Amino acid sequence: MPDKKNIRALSDEDLMAWLAKEKEPAFRSKQIKEWIWKKAARNFREMKNLPSGLIEKLENEFELGPVRVNETQISSDGTIKAAMLLSDGLVVESVLIPKGKRMTACVSSQVGCSLSCKFCATARIKRKRNLLASEIFDQVVLMDRLAREHYGQALTHIVYMGMGEPLLNFKEVVKSVRIITSPEGLGMSPSRITISTAGIAKMIRALADENLRVNLALSLHAPDDAKRSQIMPINEVNPLEDLKDALRYFYNTTGIRPTLEYVALRGFNDTPEDARKLLTVTKSIVSKINIIQYNPIDGGEFLPSYGNQLKRFTDLLKKGGAITTIRRSRGKDIDAACGQLANKNKLSEQKQ
């Protein structure tokens, strides 16, 4: 028997056409979609208001391809990392970051990553495939359940900062955002969602044109092309001038101020001269800066900035007029912090 189709990958038109072919009333489409997205059904038998005959037809032809929590780890600071098992046996990681009443889910968009950022553990895992919108959606639903189970609170924010480059899975990422923010889906405000990118200028422009109203974070990590290309090879085809133009376009189109993410690497990008160069970048675009504490990875070539060096660097930025925040790392003891997601339990098989 051929593989079953994932019903969550069907368009509305395709689902309506299938129902017509099966001589089922058109109103069943709304019921099915409500179960799939609003109620996040895990199997067809949960769809209690559908007749048994239709459920059998659905089971014979389709699958839901649900993502499952395979393993969880809880950090001493309360951060939870979950290994998410996909329907084809591959694994991605998602992270729940609790901070007071704020519950943030960090979700993945690809299995592995096709980029080669030198400071990131995920970059060592060969990209196997893009995630479907439904698989991104499932991560959000499952992290919401973990937030309710462990903290008695619902999820409040989502960041696309897990494994993979979201803008290299553009279609499915955009689709997932539309489902998550739709009243027929999870109904989350787009202002609570942030998409992070290593910097693909044309796709930043495309994201602006989608009018999703989500936040954008650019992984900058160096103040000039020379240094950025050393740690982020993608900069060679997306240099800073192109990225600045794209960020200006994003801001002018959406009115949303982008964030520049900047991981502080000891002696590499945290000097006073680096701060001065970074200020020239910020003065040419409307933006704000998140300084990120570097989280060492096995065999990595960098070290985190010293506390006094990091403070001096940040103070120079603030004195120069840049809106600057130091983002404290969470979940370092379970390899759940920024740049540490590497599926260590699946690393050997997913690198093949």
The catalytic site residues sit at: 93, 338
**296 burial type by CB count under 10 A (0-12 exposed, 13-18 middle, 19+ buried):** middle
Q: What is the DSSP string of 99-126?
A: ETTEEEEE--SEESBS---TT-SGGGSB
Q: How many CA atoms lie within 13 A of 88 on its CB side?
A: 13
Residue given tokens 């997205």 in the structure block: 37
How far is CA 113 from each of CA 87, 220, 256, 274, 341, rounded to the nearest angstrom? 19, 17, 27, 28, 11
Least Cα distance to 155 among 83, 109, 195, 107 occurs for 107
Residue type, 126: K
**DSSP designation for 16:** H
Give the integer Cα–Cα distance in Å for 42 and 7.
12
Residue type, 16: M
Sign of the Cα pseudo-torsion (108, 109, 113, 115, in order): negative
Q: What are phi and psi of 71, to 5 degrees?
A: -160, 145
Sign of the Cα pseudo-torsion (141, 142, 143, 145, in order): positive
How far is CA 15 from each of CA 38, 61, 132, rounded to the nearest angstrom? 17, 12, 17
- 3-state DSSP call for residue 89? coil
- 3-state DSSP call for residue 234? helix
Give the integer Cα–Cα distance in Å for 210 and 198.
19
* Chain centroid, CA 237 distance in Å: 22
Residues in the chain: 352
